[in-house]
Amino acid sequence: MQTQPTILRPPRLAPGARVALVAPAGPLLERDDLIRGVALAEALGFAPELGAHAAKRHGYLAGRDEERLADLQHALADPRIDAVWCLRGGYGVTRILDRLDMAPLRTRPKALVGFSDITALLLAAHASAGLVTFHGPVARRPMTAFTRRGFERALASPEAAGLLETLPVPQGVLVPTENRIATITDGVAAGRLIGGNLSLLHCLIGTPWFPRLEGAILFLEDVSEKLYAVDRMLAHLRSIGAFTNLAGVAIGRFTDLTRGGADGALGLDEVLATYFGPLRVPVAAGFPIGHLDDQWTLPIGVEAELDATQGRLSLLEAAVQ
């Protein structure tokens, strides 16, 4: 694991900010994805610049490695670009990370935004340059009012510290489950926010970009995984000592999770309790993180406070300057 570099905060995104729209992972399957990404950036007041190869397709990739790398490297290095917003996740970032030069981010910090497969880019930029990066919506998807509030608060406001908004729990239900935050281990903890997609965090084990987790509040999400595979990834992370000195754990949503098979089933809560319960640190699950219409934009690398008892997460400092 690398020594943590000095934390760099990108400038806030003011109206007219030039935002590069790139596809460094999976392909855009519909032409409207590009149109929608540009329209969304414009609706938010930004000046979008579409990557030269963003519309390319090469099997399950948005163009060949050299093409995706060229778009991403140009966006990182061009001093006119204020932020890099990924159009989608999918798969492909880990194929080009070893050739990506992060040095321009040290002299010209800029916001990097996305989630899912983009987790690898976010964690690599944070590990390599100390840059605060943003686990948040991709540009091709429609943006709900909830998601927009969190996006603009994280990226456009230097006064963004404070309690993060949670989704309402349905009224009139005797025992509501939708949007409820479940406490696994009571308590309150503070630490740097680090995390993202579990599969991608797991992919970075043994690389220069695996994050330092000592004293961190780890957040995790995933999609379309089998529960035994989630169990296996958590077991591997535990075996390398990744969880030993965590301050707390904030679990997002594991959407489209396959819980059982011919051999039987466990519950996700049982699996989470197996790995995080013995740590005796605050742990809660169900936060709006992950493959959801309503999702948070979480800044990686900033100090936060997790109140697992009350199901709350607060930023203790702004993510932008």
Q: What is the pLDDT of residues 88-143, one digit of tens each?
A: 999 999 999 999 999 999 999 999 999 999 999 999 999 999 999 999 999 999 99
Q: What is the pLDDT of residues 216-251, one digit of tens each?
A: 999 999 999 999 999 999 999 999 999 999 999 999
Distance, CA of 114 to CA of 75 (rounded, Å): 14
Q: What are the Cα distances from residue 247, in Å, to 48, 78, 215, 219?
A: 38, 37, 5, 11
Residue 26, both tokens: 């999976």
Please indicate whether residue 116 is annotated as part of the active site.
yes
Asked whether residue 191 carries a pLDDT value surpassing 50, the answer given is: yes
Residue 317, both tokens: 């400092």
Q: What is the pTM of this model?
A: 0.96
Please indicate whether residue 224 is annotated as part of the active site.
no
Q: Which is catalytic among the residues 53, 67, 202, 221?
A: 221
Q: What is the pLDDT of residue 160?
A: 76
b/e code 219-258 from CB counts within 10 Å (16+ = b): bbbbbebebbebbebbeebbeeebbeebbbbbbbbbeeee
φ, ψ of residue 126 to 5 degrees: the values are -70, -45
Q: What is the pLDDT of residue 1?
A: 44
Strand partners, 251: 220, 285
CATH of the domain spanning 18-156 = 3.40.50.10740
Distance, CA of 137 to CA of 291 (rounded, Å): 9
Q: Which is catalytic among the residues 116, 128, 135, 202?
A: 116
Q: Is the Cα dihedral 287, 290, 293, 294 positive or negative? A: positive
Q: Which of these CATH numbers, 3.40.50.720, 1.10.10.2840, 3.40.225.10, 3.50.30.60, describes 162-315?
A: 3.50.30.60
Q: Residue 218: name the closest of 275, 274, 165, 178 by CA.
A: 275
Sheet containing 188-197: give its strands across.
Answer: 162-163, 312-315, 303-307, 188-197, 216-223, 248-255, 283-285, 182-185
Please indicate whether residue 199 is annotated as part of the active site.
no
Q: Residue 86: name the closest of 250, 196, 7, 221 by CA.
A: 196
CB 300 within 8 A of CB 196: yes
List the chain domain ranges.
Answer: 18-156, 162-315
Residue 203, both tokens: 């992919």
Residue 70, both tokens: 């060229």
CB 155 within 8 A of CB 82: no
Q: Which is catalytic among the residues 53, 126, 135, 291?
A: 291
pLDDT confidence band for 4 (50 / 70 / 90): low
